[in-house]
Structure formats: C-alpha cells, structure tokens
Amino acid sequence: MGRIAEIYDGWINLVFKDSKMEKIAEDRFEICIGCDYLRKNNSCKLCGCFMPAKVRSKKSKCDDNKW
C-alpha cells in the first residue's frame, strides 16, 4: 500500500468508526501520547502525519518503530 493509500485509509477510518479499528487506534495513540515527537496539535515531528488518522491506518507503522 502506498503512502497516499495509507493516509486515505486512516482518514476513512477516522470518519467511519469501526470498533475493532478503534481498539487498535487507541492502543497505538496511547504510545504516541508518551512520545517526544508528538506535537500539541497531534501531528508527529518525525513524519509530519496527523496521528489520530495515522493510528487508524491498518498498514501504517510508527516511523520510530514504536508500533
């Protein structure tokens, strides 16, 4: 899956909630909350992504290999 497809997947899952994906997103974002790269606007200093969407992309991975 290309980067654009990952971004699209994350935003679709952010808008149209699925309980299984929400559990995965919750677990991932919990890791992000403790990360020094997370900005106050919930974007990542390392990759630049808006994390509430990225954590909902099934194929995305943390650029710092935390999830």
pLDDT digits 0-9 by tens, 16-63: 999 999 999 999 999 999 999 999 999 999 999 999 999 999 999 999
Q: For residue 3, what pLDDT is reported?
A: 87
pTM of the predicted model as reported, rounded to 2 decimal places: 0.89
**Within 13 Å of residue 67, how many CA atoms lie on the same side as its CB?**
20
CA 29 to chain centre: 7
